[in-house]
Structure 1
Amino acid sequence: MNAARQHQVAWDAGLADLVQPPPLLQSWGHGEVQAKEGWRVKRLNLPQGHASVLLQGRWPFARAYVPRGPVPTSEAALGALVTWARNSGLARLRVEPEAPKELGPVLRRLDFQPSQAIQPKHTLIVPLASDEIMLAAMKPKHRYNIRLALKRGVCVEEGEEVEELHRQSQATAVRQGITLLSTAQYRARLAQLAWCRTYVARHQGRPLAAILVAHFGGRAYYLFGGSSGEQRELQATYALQWAAMRAARVAGCRDYDLWGIPPEPDPGHPWFGLWQFKTGFGGRPTEYCGAWDLELSRWRTRVAGIPGQLAGRARRIFTRQAL
């Protein structure tokens, strides 16, 4: 085992010693993915825990972001992280702990203020058990659609089909007017995360839908997906999730994170269809405390934000011109 691999194994094992399940976004592999996308990564062995910190900007205007961290989400670990940030001369520290909203008073005591969430604040976590137990926990329509897809010959293959995942997700992105990852970004996740695979649903050899799933520390995560929109009556997207859940169970995962739902079942919400799809698989609704900012220097934070504001204005101007 080379030195880099030793560091990865030691870091991930250290997270698992502190909390179960350890957060995927604090894993060594996730830091490597973010390093390829422009962040500087600093992994801290704090006296009271660990934190994989993503850094942006140069001192004295550097800002830090800790996704789903620190680990654990104790007041002692948060306090140690704040001390490091102050001593490092950061302009701002943003944390998004994998902790319930009850952590809010602790964060306020440390002078954090609520910010715009970056990661999903609400999700569903499905316990993985026998086929019979998992199917019984689903809504009747979902059980019916899974069985229908299998009966009609939808087949799901596990692999590393980056191009097909990108093609399917781009079809969804165009329909919904959203932006998803590039082929290179999907490939980086497959290469760097501790365990990551694509699942592609096909009917008579024709690809209909694809998803990207990661495993870490005994939990599986449905990260990205898309479908061509063709032959929807075959219910390929239901077969995909079912195959990924069953494979995760066989691999030793205890549960499956569906990675984001709207906060309420509001028919007027643009993600209401997503809420209907995901909640039908059963699972435990989970609400996290969201993102919190600590401004360590107000003027340096403001100055650091100016390039981003200008870039955003330029993008809006370009979009209006393009339309």
Structure 2
Amino acid sequence: MRVHAIDPAEVTDTHNLLQSPFWAAFKEEIGQRALAFRYESELGNGELVAMERARGSAAEHLYVPHGPEADLPEEAQGGFLTELSRGISATVPTHPTFLRYDLRWRSPFTGPDYQDDNGRWLGRPQPRIQEMRMNFGIGDRALRKAPTDVQPPDTVIIRVNEPDDVLLSRMKSKTRYNVRLSLRNGLQIARESDSSLEEWHALYRDTCRRQGIICENVEYFAELFSVVASHPHPCCSDAPIVRLIAARHRGRMVAGLIYAMFRDQAYYLYGASSREDGSLMAPYGVQWRAMCAAREDGCTTYDMFGVPPTDDPSHPMHGLYRFKTGFGGEIRHYRGCWDYPVDEAQYRAQAHIAADSGAYHLRR
């Protein structure tokens, strides 16, 4: 395999938001360094974007969000990833301890053998079993299941290129009822400009505190909208659309979400709501409005961007699972984060340090 470095602005062969030149530009604006590579192999050619993390420390690594995007059969994935890692390691100008890939390849552990008698998914096997399968037929068996997943490895994908009645018919009955109830509760649900970010962020901050998750500061979101609006980098000519949809009751914001559209896909990124106004069902209304708006702008799918792996009442985010899956759609399970140690000794020494602290639902 041949691998060479390119400018992130040169990346064109991508259909994923987190592999887009725009996302690289945004991450650089908030202090990260973005790199990009082009690879050529017998299995195909492609490009990918990577972010430097923990630079200058023993945990320094390159993080590849939702990449590579190569469409490969399962039996070819481990060998391809190993060869790609060797090529990147020989090309990258820095000295990372490891490479971390946040893979969007489907998990191979979802068939009947991994379901209970009622057809419910049992979840992924232990990392050792996953590693045996990923490294099968590879001499050095170098790929490791990462100790943490950065992006959620489980999500719900909703096909939105259908009429309203079809979308509603695919929802669970309680969700469909709550969507309709939100539209009868006197809510004004509409797109708002970034001038409403401060008000939305106050709701978001309370939501994060309520759920016990890390809260991005308002400047993070302001920069996201700023990069889209000002196009400060040449790479942003193919920038996605980022929008804020909010629900107001008697003029006061009671719920809102931020979503992005890139090519024909929409991504629900961040949401917030008021606990005191829960009876209004505003979160259902803003999701419905976002899906309809994404369809009107030409998107075919709407990615809920993360759910717990199973319908487990003991999971701390079980309510999120029930909320997101209620809108219908296909539950997808991906392989999640995988590491390729460049410096094996240093990687082993850092084995108990999660370079990306916190659960996957805490940050993008």
Tell me whether the two structures share a fold, i.e. TM-score over 0.5: yes
AA matched with 2:256: A
Contact 1:70–1:77 at 8 Å: present in 2 too?
no
Q: Per-residue deviation at 1:96?
A: 1.1
Contact 1:198–1:212 at 8 Å: present in 2 too?
yes
Q: Per-residue deviation at 1:253?
A: 0.3
SS of 2:105's equivalent? coil
Mapped to 2, the partners of 1:9 and 1:54 lie a distance apart of 14
| Equivalent position of 1:117 in the other structure | 149
Contact 1:69–1:97 at 8 Å: present in 2 too?
yes
Mapped to 2, the partners of 1:41 and 1:231 lie a distance apart of 41
CA distance 1:8–1:196, change in 2 (3 Å) = farther
Greater helix share, structure number: 1
SS of 1:69's equivalent? coil
Contact 2:200–2:253 at 8 Å: present in 1 too?
no
Q: Does 1:298 align with 2:296?
A: no
| Equivalent position of 1:91 in the other structure | 97
| Equivalent position of 2:50 in the other structure | 53
Q: Which of the residues 174, 181, 187 maps onto 2:216?
A: 181
Alpha-carbon deviations, 1:190-215, whole Å to 9, x = none? 23352111111111211101111001
Contact 1:46–1:81 at 8 Å: present in 2 too?
no
| Equivalent position of 2:35 in the other structure | 42
Q: Does 1:163 align with 2:160?
A: no
| Equivalent position of 1:24 in the other structure | 17
Mapped to 1, the partners of 2:67 and 2:275 lie a distance apart of 37
CA distance 1:178–1:80, change in 2 (3 Å) = closer
CA distance 1:301–1:40, change in 2 (3 Å) = farther
AA matched with 1:155: Q
Mapped to 1, the partners of 2:249 and 2:209 lie a distance apart of 23
Mapped to 2, the partners of 1:9 and 1:242 lie a distance apart of 34
| Unmatched segments (≥5 aa) in structure 2 | 1-6, 110-129, 228-238, 358-364
Q: Which of the residues 63, 67, 80 maps onto 2:84?
A: 80
Q: Which of the residues 255, 258, 272 maps onto 2:318?
A: 272
Root-mean-square deviation over aligned CA pairs: 2.6
- Percent sequence identity over matched residues? 31
SS of 2:294's equivalent? helix
SS of 1:252's equivalent? coil
Q: Per-residue deviation at 1:305?
A: 8.4
SS of 2:104's equivalent? coil
Q: Per-residue deviation at 1:146?
A: 1.3
AA matched with 2:19: Q
SS of 1:281's equivalent? coil
| Equivalent position of 1:316 in the other structure | none
Q: Normalising to structure 2: TM-score of the pair?
A: 0.75
Contact 1:199–1:211 at 8 Å: present in 2 too?
yes
Deviating more after overlay: 30-39 vs 171-180: 30-39
Which structure 2 residues correspond to residues 137-286 of structure 1 after superposition, within 5 A? 137-159=170-192, 160=194, 161-192=196-227, 194-286=240-332
Alpha-carbon deviations, 1:172-207, whole Å to 9, x = none? 112122212111111222233521111111112111
Mapped to 1, the partners of 2:57 and 2:314 lie a distance apart of 44
Q: Per-residue deviation at 1:59?
A: 9.2
Deviating more after overlay: 101-110 vs 39-48: 101-110
Alpha-carbon deviations, 1:223-272, whole Å to 9, x = none? 11111212211111100000000000000000101111111111111111
Alpha-carbon deviations, 1:57-115, whole Å to 9, x = none? 14997411101001225447632343122443532111111111239645563621101
Deviating more after overlay: 108-117 vs 291-300: 108-117
| Equivalent position of 1:136 in the other structure | 169
Contact 1:123–1:260 at 8 Å: present in 2 too?
yes
Contact 1:73–1:97 at 8 Å: present in 2 too?
no
AA matched with 2:210: R
Q: Per-residue deviation at 1:42?
A: 0.5
Mapped to 1, the partners of 2:328 and 2:150 lie a distance apart of 25
Question: How many residue pairs align between the two structures?
Answer: 297
| Equivalent position of 2:121 in the other structure | none
Contact 1:23–1:98 at 8 Å: present in 2 too?
no
CA distance 1:31–1:87, change in 2 (3 Å) = closer
AA matched with 2:145: P
Q: Per-residue deviation at 1:284?
A: 0.2
AA matched with 1:80: L
| Unmatched segments (≥5 aa) in structure 1 | 1-6, 16-21, 313-323
Mapped to 2, the partners of 1:247 and 1:77 lie a distance apart of 38
SS of 1:171's equivalent? helix
Mapped to 2, the partners of 1:55 and 1:72 lie a distance apart of 22
